[in-house]
Amino acid sequence: MDIVKGLEAWSRLLGQDSIIVDSQVLQTYQTATYTTSAQILAILKPSNRQQISPLVKIANEYSIPLYPISGGRNWGYGSRVPVKDGCIILDLGNLTEITDYNEELAYVTLEPGVTQGQLYQFLQERHSPLWMDATGAGLGSSLIGNVMERGFGHTPYGDRFSQVCGLEVVLPTGECIHTGFGRFPNAQAASVYRWGVGAYLDGLFTQSNLGIVTQMTFWLMPAPECFGAFSFSIDKDEELPALLDALRPLRLDDTLRSAIHVGNHYKVLSSVRLYPWAEMEGKTPLSLAVIEQLSKSWDYKAWNGFGGLYGSREQVAAARRLLKKALAGKVARLTFLDDRKLQWGERLAPLYQKITGIRLPEMLKIMRPVYDLMKGIPSSRFLESTYWRKKTPIPEEMEPNRDGCGLIWCAPVVPLDGKHAAVINRMATETILSHGFEPMLSLTLLTGRCLGCIISISYDRAVEGEDERAMACYKELSAKLTGEGYYPYRLGIQSMDLLAKAEDSYQHLMDQLKQTLDPKGILAPGRYQP
Amino acid sequence: MDIVKGLEAWSRLLGQDSIIVDSQVLQTYQTATYTTSAQILAILKPSNRQQISPLVKIANEYSIPLYPISGGRNWGYGSRVPVKDGCIILDLGNLTEITDYNEELAYVTLEPGVTQGQLYQFLQERHSPLWMDATGAGLGSSLIGNVMERGFGHTPYGDRFSQVCGLEVVLPTGECIHTGFGRFPNAQAASVYRWGVGAYLDGLFTQSNLGIVTQMTFWLMPAPECFGAFSFSIDKDEELPALLDALRPLRLDDTLRSAIHVGNHYKVLSSVRLYPWAEMEGKTPLSLAVIEQLSKSWDYKAWNGFGGLYGSREQVAAARRLLKKALAGKVARLTFLDDRKLQWGERLAPLYQKITGIRLPEMLKIMRPVYDLMKGIPSSRFLESTYWRKKTPIPEEMEPNRDGCGLIWCAPVVPLDGKHAAVINRMATETILSHGFEPMLSLTLLTGRCLGCIISISYDRAVEGEDERAMACYKELSAKLTGEGYYPYRLGIQSMDLLAKAEDSYQHLMDQLKQTLDPKGILAPGRYQP
């Protein structure tokens, strides 16, 4: 590794301003929402995507490892911090061009620096009849960055990786390729057909360190004539399996076209307010007595679900009836919500609170962004929950890394079958409580066949010893889950070694692929590598 | 290459009966529906999938190329014939185990020898509430074989490669891997979640020569409460763009959940009867006068479409109304069909013919399997059209390779936009007519964004010079299409060199992958390799 010569070469290529070595800035990049140890050497911020290929060639020439990030909002999974020590961060945040947009065929092509907020703005400005898919990661979250991790969103296009195509990838050697039909001259169908002809390679570049995606096409969803949301609750853990089993057929037959989220009371409480320090007299973890007492004023139950219905008026009405029928006797409550009802609710909420004591105005403050998310409207509102255990007020501009918000995510995938959900719930709840944290669980019906279980360990990094306790909790939970055959859909930088559990032949294949595509090992060493 | 030693070793592994060297049998394997030149050395027919890995190791040891086939029904694309000379055929047709079946989570796991007919039978015997997806390739077509070519079917699960997961793959070196979560011990979600964790590799093994898939999980569709079919026609080519543009929004918003097929009059005629030798007084190609004359008795028009509606009674009714509205004024006729109507039609058809002269009974003989296909019921009826230009009657047991049926398919993908369809139609019609064949075109709305254009060149291999004329026609058409940027979704063995049009960097990557995974180059040399 010859770092000095490398920086000189990059400086000639990018200009001095695009290279950051200031130790304070470096410090912010190597800070996540939990303990990490990797130190970085510098940050490169190229200003256009033509610079990526020569930039990567320089990294090869001087054997300097690069760690690419897009928006860098990988909160709970390691933020912007590399897996290994001694990398240069390649920050693609300035590559913000939207290079193609087709309203008829419903797609947009864009660069890694394009955020959810930017695309939403772009569509708004054009009065576009198309919806994007959005996640709860905030306005500044990169669309490509999220797909690279195979994140999922809240609209019918929520299984994001299945709604993209036409990748431009700079390989670890600096060569640039286009996947699908895009590799052929004048290809007419490059942005509308995923598979192209010959081997389909897109998957190789997600959750890996085999290439830097510098452009991607996202399919957009035509705004439906009608959108309706619904929410439901159950009183007890014991009712959870039957609830999920009742939802499965509707998700399988596409009556429910988007992911349905079912969160426990801890999850709901943490999304509407910070930790109730006063009620708990400063103690942790949250007692069942207090969470039940608070459930009255916030009107949540043991498990609370929501989802969206999309289609023509008639189609939505048909879906609503099927849902009612399926959940009859399975839920304590089932509520349908549409634009008009939500607006009225917002107007009448203060009055409602006066009469019932239920904090509807505050509840709606979170309901509105949840509702919007299902319509592809991104919001930064959900970041507030990362401040759960903080004793200081939430700042105007949230930055969980900077503010010492502790957050570790653990996200096993399980078959969509009530029995499995009960096992996961018991395992996660017991383990997290035993470590002194709140077991916040959200079960997402990703498809009709599987649940994505999003389990968060939320804490205050400013509290002495909490970093260690939280990580110990995570490690124990992760070991228990994988021990029972429940593997995560995505990994934080601290748990790449989980991949070593794979059969030897598979690991050997992955090693060979890495060796072939990245002979000098310069791209994101250790990322999705055991 | 040491073929003698290889055969000895395989004989010890598989038993002598599993090795075929009889020249007559070899001849049948090296016969397709058009001219091919590759000679094969022998055929291996292993009896279980545990034999594949050691079998492939032997191929490596003695540097003998293997060409795997499943059902071998790759008609129109080269059938069972290898791309290159001097291969051993690895016929996986005896691997017919269905290894897992889960009714609640709606999937089945099976081996490459399992045919459409076998799976259909399996589901019928169990009175399964699940539907498989079916193609027109006949009862003997392998399910895995079709997915390996990324074929598509006629139900909402028709984009087949997006409805499978959990591949077991024997790599060209003989190592065996499991993709997705399946590579981890005791993985609970291996058959229900496609992506697993880490790079998604499944795509690498489709349309490639990088591995032999020995097991795969297919997701099945819960039978809907209600199924309804529809058909429509237009009088003139000029109306085609507006028709497709009117269908697009309904396919995009999932009102139309499965592929819609729109075929021209040549296509329809070739599916209901053989070439009208009498009417044409023995001449070819078919004149417009005769095709128009016949259109009266068969009741087809310039373009004829069909598709299915799936859901609850109410959902299907809603879709029907939306379809009616969208096609109003765009079609000469729009007919809805359901089980009851079809049964009545079948009963009353002879009477109808007496009154109108329209050959409804014969028309229904093809309508029934088309209708069934949309419900996932496979049929061999569609193979009859491969006999189009034959002067002999269709045999009881059809075998297009053996019977000298000439068939070459050309399948470009174009954006789902009327303008592109018009270009393709003009280009294909002019080119094929100029070579003396009938331009049979079917435009399939694969998704809301693209059309798969299935163009067939159908002829009689027994006619002197036809093989050459048909191939010349194919080559000209293919060159014209790719010249305009329309690339095929799939390649016949004669056109793998089309891949050489890709950018150099991409070809270089593919070469590297092949070299790494198959250092001795023993797996299907030339297949999806320029």
pLDDT digits (tens, 9 = 90+) for B448-463: 999 999 999 999 999 9
Q: Which residues of A touch B160 (CB under 8 A)?
A: none
Q: What is the pLDDT of residues A4-55, one digit of tens each?
A: 999 999 999 999 999 999 999 999 999 999 999 999 999 999 999 999 999 9
The model's pTM is: 0.97
ipTM value greater than 0.95:
yes
pLDDT band (50, 70, 90) for residue B358: confident
Q: What is the pLDDT of residues B170-191, one digit of tens each?
A: 999 999 999 999 999 999 999 9
Tell me the average pLDDT of chain B: 96
CB distance B255–A311 less than 8 Å?
Answer: yes
Q: Phi/psi zone of residue B127: left (φ > 0), alpha (ψ -120 to 50 degrees), beta?
A: left
* Per-residue pLDDT at A362 exceeds 90: no
Rounded Cα gap, residues B36 and B45, in angstroms = 23
Task: Name the residue of chain B whose CA is nearest to A424's CA.
Answer: B188
Residues 6+ apart with CB under 8 A from A483: none
CB distance A413–B506 less than 8 Å?
Answer: no
Instruction: Look at residue A423 in the predicted model and tell me its pLDDT.
Output: 98
| B128-142, B185-199, B350-364: segment of lowest average pLDDT | B350-364
Q: What is the pLDDT of residues B253-281, one digit of tens each?
A: 999 999 999 999 999 999 999 999 999 99
Cβ atoms of B462 and A201 within 8 Å: the answer is: no
Name the H helices within A128-195: 143-148
Q: What is the pLDDT of residues B481-524, one digit of tens each?
A: 999 999 999 999 999 999 999 999 999 999 999 999 999 999 99
Residues 6+ apart with CB under 8 A from A510: A499, A529, B198, B199
Name the H helices within B85-214: 116-125, 143-148
Q: Which residue has the higher pLDDT, A187 or A342?
A: A187
Q: What is the pLDDT of residues B57-80, one digit of tens each?
A: 999 999 999 999 999 999 999 999
Q: Which residue has the higher pLDDT, A349 or A28?
A: A28
What are the structure tokens assigned to A397, written together?
């501009």
- How close B481 comes to chain A (CA, Å)? 10
Cβ atoms of B442 and B454 within 8 Å: the answer is: yes
Instruction: Look at residue B388 in the predicted model and tell me its pLDDT.
Output: 97
Q: What percentage of residues in chain A have a pLDDT greater than 70?
A: 100
Instruction: Look at residue B385 in the predicted model and tell me its pLDDT.
Output: 95
pLDDT band (50, 70, 90) for residue A108: very high
Residue range B74-98: average pLDDT?
A: 97
Q: Which residues of A touch B484 (CB under 8 A)?
A: 186, 188
Q: Per this entry, what is the length of chain B?
A: 530
Rounded Cα gap, residues A116 and A134, in angstroms = 7
Mutate to test the interface with B, among A184, A227, A523 (most CBs of B within 10 A): A184
Nearest to A188 by CA among A176, A196, A200, A199: A196
As to burial, measured by CB atoms within 10 angstroms (0-12 exposed, 13-18 middle, 19+ buried), residue A125 is exposed
Between the alpha carbon of residue A101 and those of residues A48, A119, A191, A216, B94, the distances in Å are: 19, 11, 10, 12, 49
Residue range B358-363: average pLDDT?
A: 81
Kindly state the DSSP code that residue A186 receives in the 8-state scheme: T
Instruction: Look at residue B364 in the predicted model and tell me its pLDDT.
Output: 81
Rounded Cα gap, residues A453 and A441, in angstroms = 7
Cβ atoms of A240 and A303 within 8 Å: the answer is: yes
Kindly state the DSSP code that residue B163 receives in the 8-state scheme: G
pLDDT band (50, 70, 90) for residue A283: very high
As to burial, measured by CB atoms within 10 angstroms (0-12 exposed, 13-18 middle, 19+ buried), residue B127 is exposed
pLDDT band (50, 70, 90) for residue A356: confident
Nearest to B259 by CA among B134, B107, B154: B154
Instruction: Look at residue B327 in the predicted model and tell me its pLDDT.
Output: 98
* Per-residue pLDDT at B215 exceeds 90: yes
CA angle A483, A485, A487 (to 5 degrees): 100
Instruction: Look at residue B41 in the predicted model and tell me its pLDDT.
Output: 96
* Per-residue pLDDT at B345 exceeds 90: no
Between the alpha carbon of residue A283 and those of residues A128, A280, A287, A290, A303, the distances in Å are: 50, 5, 9, 11, 24
Instruction: Look at residue B362 in the predicted model and tell me its pLDDT.
Output: 79
Instruction: Look at residue B367 in the predicted model and tell me its pLDDT.
Output: 86
* Per-residue pLDDT at B299 exceeds 90: no
Cβ atoms of B440 and B458 within 8 Å: the answer is: yes
| A155-169, A204-218, B220-234, B341-355: segment of lowest average pLDDT | B341-355
Q: What is the pLDDT of residues B411-423, one digit of tens each?
A: 999 999 999 999 9
Instruction: Look at residue A335 in the predicted model and tell me its pLDDT.
Output: 93
Q: What percentage of residues in chain A have a pLDDT greater than 90?
A: 93
User: What are the strands of the beta sheet with A176-178, ordered from one edge?
Assistant: A98-102, A107-110, A212-219, A164-170, A176-178
Looking at the partner chain, which of A181, A203, A528 has a beta carbon nearest the beta carbon of B203? A203
Residue A79 phi, psi (nearest 5): 50, -125
Residue range A348-367: average pLDDT?
A: 83
What are the structure tokens assigned to A73, written together?
């909002």
CA angle A496, A498, A502 (to 5 degrees): 120
Q: Which residues of A touch B207 (CB under 8 A)?
A: 195, 197-200
Looking at the partner chain, which of A206, A321, A505 has a beta carbon nearest the beta carbon of B175? A505
Kindly state the DSSP code that residue B45 receives in the 8-state scheme: -
Tell me the average pLDDT of chain A: 96
Mutate to test the interface with B, among A188, A202, A493 (most CBs of B within 10 A): A188
Q: What percentage of residues in chain B have a pLDDT greater than 70?
A: 100
CB distance B449–A150 less than 8 Å?
Answer: no
* Per-residue pLDDT at A345 exceeds 90: no
pLDDT band (50, 70, 90) for residue A162: very high
Kindly state the DSSP code that residue B466 receives in the 8-state scheme: H
Helix axes B360-373, B265-272, angle to 10 degrees: 100
Q: What is the pLDDT of residues A384-426, one digit of tens each?
A: 999 999 999 999 999 999 999 999 999 999 999 999 999 999 9
As to burial, measured by CB atoms within 10 angstroms (0-12 exposed, 13-18 middle, 19+ buried), residue A269 is buried
Cβ atoms of B53 and B7 within 8 Å: the answer is: no
What are the structure tokens assigned to A78, written together?
């390691």
Nearest to B214 by CA among B150, B280, B142, B292: B142
* Per-residue pLDDT at A437 exceeds 90: yes
Q: Which residues of B touch A205 (CB under 8 A)?
A: 199
* Per-residue pLDDT at A349 exceeds 90: no
Cβ atoms of A206 and A384 within 8 Å: the answer is: no
Instruction: Look at residue A359 in the predicted model and tell me its pLDDT.
Output: 82
- How close A328 comes to chain B (CA, Å)? 18
